[in-house]
Amino acid sequence: MWKCRNCSAELMFEEVEPDGDAHGLHFICHECGHRNKLINIGKSDEPLKLPQPDD
Ligand SMILES: [Zn+2]
């Protein structure tokens, strides 16, 4: 699962839909609306394995 960097909510992969825009890949926390950054590891066929950055 993913963890929100803002409110620490733990979100199942099925609950959020990763999105990409000019600023990069991210998902929006359903709890607080925070935009969480994701790393694109270049496997477009495995969108649910996008890791979160460690920072
Ligand atoms: Zn949140």
How does pLDDT run across 21-48, given as a tens digit for each residue?
787 889 999 999 999 998 766 655 555 5
pLDDT of residue 9: 96
Distance (angstroms) between ligand 1 centre and the Cα of 41 equals 23
Q: How far is CA 50 from CA 10, 19, 29, in A?
A: 15, 11, 15
pLDDT of residue 23: 75
Residue 41's pLDDT is: 62
Higher per-residue confidence, 7 vs 49: 7
Q: What distance in angstroms lies between residue 43's CA and the mean position of ligand 1's atoms?
A: 26
The CA 36 to ligand 1 mean position distance, Å, reads: 8
Q: Give the domain ranges of the chain.
A: 2-46
Q: Which residues surround ligand 1, an ion (CB under 5 A)?
A: 4, 6-7, 9, 29, 31-32, 34
Helix, strand, coil share of the chain (percent; to 5): 10, 25, 60
With a cut of 80, say whether residue 52 has pLDDT above it. no
